[in-house]
A = this chain, B = another copy of it.
Amino acid sequence: MTTNRLEAFSDGVLAIIITIMVLELKAPHDVTLEALMPELPKFASYLFSFIYIGIYWNNHHHLFQVAQKVSGSILWANLHLLFWLSLIPFTTSWLGENHIADVPVALYGLNLLMSAIAYFILQSVILKFHGADFVLRKAVGKDLKGKLSIVLYIVGLSLSFVNTWIAISMYILVAIMWLIPDRRIEANID
């Protein structure tokens, strides 16, 4: 089995996830700038989730750039990842509607955590299915970044009941960590 269709289906799901979030932004009936203000927290959480889905798409793209074949387990590990990512519009919408309250911030963090774990599982299943000289093995290495993300999410969502801004800072920190160009896979392909 080739990776083509798995990639096409994932692209479809990710494209929809990233786009339906914008449906949460409702045009106000008034035509003043003030009327637009209540949409700002929604806009901020849309932007944030867009970047997050973008990071996942990027990483997914890199992952299947090197994966040469697909098994039944990989198909399901991929669907598992897409399931958690598909909940991001929902948790984003709760976040955006409620000016940064503790439970929504924790739930959003839980969503990010489950997505990160699902990505980790997908990566492991792909690694297991390929040989010892598989290029991804060297690129991922000990996967410090993946593991650190999981730790930061757990810390973040736990602290969201103490201070929501600490939690949000943790989530932003992970995003920045992944936005810094990660040339591991690209370098190992060359």
CB contact under 8 A between A54 and B27, given known A1-B65, A9-B11, A11-B12:
no
Q: Cβ of A83 and Cβ of B19 under 8 Å apart?
A: no
Residues B16 and A15 in contact, CB atoms below 8 Å apart:
yes
Are A18's CB and B11's CB within 8 A? no
Given contacts A11-B9, A12-B16, A79-B54, contact A29 B61 (CB under 8 A): no
Q: State in angstroms the CA–CA spacing of A182 and B29 once bound together.
A: 39
* Docked complex Cα distance between A36 and B118 (Å): 23
Of A6, A90, A97, A183, the most chain B CB neighbours within 10 A belong to A90
Is there contact, CB below 8 Å, between B9 and A186? no
Distance in angstroms between the alpha carbons of A14 and B9 in the assembled complex: 8
Give A153-176 as 1s and 0s: 1 = Cβ < 8 Å from B's Cβ atoms. Answer: 000000000000000000000000
Closest to A179 in B: B76
In the complex, which residues of chain B have a beta carbon less than 8 angstroms from the beta carbon of A140?
none
Residue A20 CB within 8 A of the other chain? yes
The reply to whether B5 and A97 contact each other, CB–CB distance below 8 Å, is no
CB distance from A158 to the nearest CB of B (A): 15
A7 contact from B5, B27, B90, B102, Cβ within 8 A: B5
**Contacts A29-B98, A31-B102, A32-B103 known; 18 new A-B pairs at CB < 8 A:** A1-B61, A5-B11, A9-B11, A9-B57, A12-B14, A16-B16, A19-B20, A20-B23, A22-B86, A22-B89, A25-B90, A27-B90, A27-B94, A31-B94, A36-B107, A50-B79, A72-B183, A76-B179
Between A and B, 13 residue pairs with Cβ closer than 8 Å are A9-B11, A12-B14, A12-B15, A13-B15, A15-B15, A22-B89, A22-B90, A31-B94, A33-B103, A36-B107, A50-B83, A50-B86, A72-B182
